[in-house]
Chain A
Amino acid sequence: MGTNTTVDYKKEYAGYWKVLIGLLILTAITLVQPGMFLTDYTFATQMLIGTIKAWMILMYYMHLKGEKLIIWFTWFSIFLVAYFFLLVGIDVANFQFGDVSHITSPAQ
């Protein structure tokens, strides 16, 4: 939606319900996945389903479809979070302080 406030009610109404059904199906998959498929990769699969749901919410419920500037802002914010994940991921993959860290064991 831009600054135009006119609305095709029936079309948008149907759109909201379609997205709801999609999100409900994905939620059902979230709940049954650990017992049905990709059982060795539950965490990754769950996050993937979450990302698809998030994309649907952003595009349709939060009206990002058709936006330009705000989409770029959103990508930038996702990039920043991902960058921090990457940095910390490298750090944790080479964790050197297991014996002395309060993160790996409680303070004595």
Chain B
Amino acid sequence: MSHEYVPEIAVDREGKEHEVQGWQDDIYGGKLGFWLFMFTEVMMFGSMFLVLTYYFTLHHQDFLNASAGLNRTLGGTNTVVLLFSALTMGLGLLKMRAGDVKGAKLMIWATIFLALVFLGIKAVEWNAEIHHGIFLTLPALQAGNPDSLPFGQILFFGMYFTMTGLHGFHIIIGIGIMIWLLKRINAGKVRPDHHILHFNIALYWDLVHLIWVFVFPYFYMIGAGDIGGVAHGH
């Protein structure tokens, strides 16, 4: 089946018609499309939070106990790291829009650095948990053996590794697209007068931050038992 070529027509302020040659500078269209993608992310993480809430309601005390064992200091540090990375990303976009391309690139590198710090801290955390015998594949999180944690705690840690893992995956993707953005800037494809890609990647990074704003309290602060405790009580 063939399609006849139908030219797109845009109308300027004087009412004159022009045949559209490309949509590259359609900032609003690009932004709107990216927001639609982000709503699918909200649905995905939203449904995960829904499952988490469901389990939390059914296994209240187990969830409180499991949450108290997480490393709140490292989790809190990561919250602040991500907060500053949102600032560097935002300032980078601002510098790009203001014409300071060099400054914008520096800010993107700073964001990548902070993203790597976040992943490093997360790796330390996961390592400590694995060291304590807590990971998806280890006996403590498998039901029906002598080392099993209480059932609600198994569900808690299952959700913890799934959701922080998926969030961490988004951080890795974020680093990848920031490196791609730097390449596009170097190639002159992203410029102060044509910065929609930079704008959307900054939006993506804010979304990753936004998700963490709920992931952190839901897992690390949930009932705040054992306040300040960083020891794993397992």
Q: Report the 6 A-B pairs with minimum CB-CB distance, sorted nearest first.
A: A34-B224, A106-B143, A46-B217, A81-B46, A9-B98, A7-B97
Interface centre among A24, A39, A81, A107, by most chain B C-beta atoms within 10 angstroms, is A81
C-alpha spacing A97/B136, complex, angstroms: 26
C-alpha spacing A77/B46, complex, angstroms: 10
C-alpha spacing A74/B28, complex, angstroms: 16
Pick from A27, A43, A103: contact of B54, CB under 8 Å:
A103
Binding site for B on A (CB under 8 A): 2-3, 5, 7, 9, 12-13, 16-17, 20, 23-24, 27, 30-31, 33-35, 39, 42-43, 46-47, 49-50, 53-54, 57-58, 61-62, 69-70, 73-74, 77-78, 80-81, 84-85, 88-89, 92, 95, 103-108
Given A13-B94, A70-B31, A70-B35, answer yes or no on A43-B222 (Cβ-Cβ < 8 Å). Answer: yes
> In the complex, which range does the number of interface residues on chain B fall in?
35 or more
Chain A interface, DSSP helix/strand/loop, else mixed: helix
Q: How far is the CB of A103 from chain B (nearest CB, A)?
A: 6
| Contact assessment for B57 and A57 in the assembled complex, using a CB-CB cutoff below 8 Å | no
| Contact assessment for A58 and B83 in the assembled complex, using a CB-CB cutoff below 8 Å | no
| Contact assessment for A84 and B217 in the assembled complex, using a CB-CB cutoff below 8 Å | no
C-alpha spacing A83/B62, complex, angstroms: 27
